[in-house]
Amino acid sequence: MLFNSTEFLIFFTIVFVLYWLTNKNLKVQNLLLLIASYIFYGWWDWRFLFLLFLNSLVNFILGKYIFKATDKKQKKRLLYVALIFNLGLLGFFKYFNFFIDSFISLSNGIGLKSSAFTLNIILPVGISFYTFQALSYIIDIYRGNIKPVTNPISFFTFKAFFPQLVAGPIERASNLLLQIDVPRKFDRELFNAGIFQIAIGFFRKIVIADSIAAYVDTVYGNPDFYNSNTLIIATILYAFQIYYDFSGYSDIAIGTAKMLGFRFLQNFNLPYFSKSLTEFWRKWHMSLSFWLRDYLYISLGGNRKGVIITYRNLMITMLLGGLWHGSSWNFVIWGGIHGFVLSIEKFVMSKKYKIFNNKFISYLGYISTFAIVCFAWIFFRSQTFENTRLILSKIFNYSFKAPYIGDINVFINGIFVLILGFLFDIYLRKKDIPLEELAGSWGIAKTAIFTSIILIMICLFYSDSNNFIYFQF
């Protein structure tokens, strides 16, 4: 069930009404959320529900046993069981064929003949997100940061909560589970803020991202046909497409949760206004970025074991972060590019060169950061490594030919709505206020007028044919 579909509008309306009618009984309200979340998830493929239920049940039990363990060795053994179970499921469904194909290619490359052996595995929607959510819960219990939940309905609701189930944000137990376990009252201001953020999310997705996608998909679908200038323009546009697509999804998820009385953490904070890649990752997909930092980078040793180990940990973190996005070497390379540049930045910043206090050099950081991010997006967006190689060869063998625009109406339409979206982001930056707080600062009347204008534009651009990009991860 897509957020941008009529089915979801009907589904959420029914859930919203029943949910607030039962707000005097927390157990019934949470049970309703759980049932609704399973309906939402089962709408994709009912077979996925068994895997989600199994994942929830095993992690619920393991969390209790890890907390009750009396010695460190027992705790560590149970932690390893949890890691093997969660990563094993993720690895089988998402990476089995990838690793088999890679092994076969490597064997054939060194002269060893290997026959192909792959399985027809369906990738469960959202498995990457709810696996990371489960791991954070288990690791937090192991570290003593939280206690395990005793109510299975609360935990199963936490694991399946439909606004963030399919593509995040990756909400941790320390935030979401605590809210599930306390009574919730209808909050008019939170409700209004939720509607406003949902409207912004749909605007970013339907009006901006989908309009840009029409052009980007055409160019990247046949890169051999286009010259270097066209490919550069399409890559820059893709940078904004994926930003508005995924930040739009996050806005809808966060806004939907607000209407149900929950507060999610911020997931995007104007990432393209970053002077460095380090700053970019503090603003881009923040729930994943902080997850990688807290549960992978720090677990590897962080920056506590010397300079060389720190750079190694950064590279491993970003390489695995890239692989998390998809079973392709393109994603690994994408992560490697980010890890390499982050390591360079960490080295340079550690020297505290005075030149970086220069305003001109500082402003160059915006351009260089965006250029690096766009370069890495080529690997992220390309369907195959051959396409990546073709695109890069055309860009680096730069020709001064005018770009072939193709359908000029599609191009102009995409540029126009992109300008609207970017001007709104500039407004947020100038006011130095997160989108999550904007509705409260505007007041009900101004918010209602602005929301109405956005809804009209959404209706004009509406199409139910485009999935959210991060559904494939």
pLDDT in tens, the chain (473 residues): 788 788 888 999 999 999 999 988 999 999 999 999 999 999 888 888 999 999 999 999 999 999 999 888 999 999 999 999 999 998 888 877 766 666 666 566 566 665 555 566 777 888 889 999 999 999 999 999 999 999 999 999 999 999 998 887 999 998 999 999 999 999 988 998 898 899 899 889 988 999 999 999 999 988 888 888 999 999 999 999 999 999 999 999 999 999 999 999 999 999 999 999 999 999 999 999 999 999 999 999 888 877 888 899 999 999 999 988 888 889 999 999 999 999 998 888 776 665 556 667 778 889 999 999 999 999 999 978 889 999 999 998 877 777 777 778 888 988 999 999 999 999 999 988 888 888 777 777 777 777 777 777 777 776 655 777 776 66
Active site residue 325: yes
Q: Which of 75, 205, 258, 325 is catalytic?
A: 325
Contact 371, 302 (CB under 8 A): no
Own/partner pairs, 181-187, CB within 8 angstroms, 24+ separation: 181/149, 181/151, 181/154, 182/26, 183/23, 183/26, 184/23, 184/26, 184/29, 184/260, 184/261, 184/262, 185/23, 185/261, 186/20, 186/23, 186/261, 187/261
pTM for this prediction: 0.90
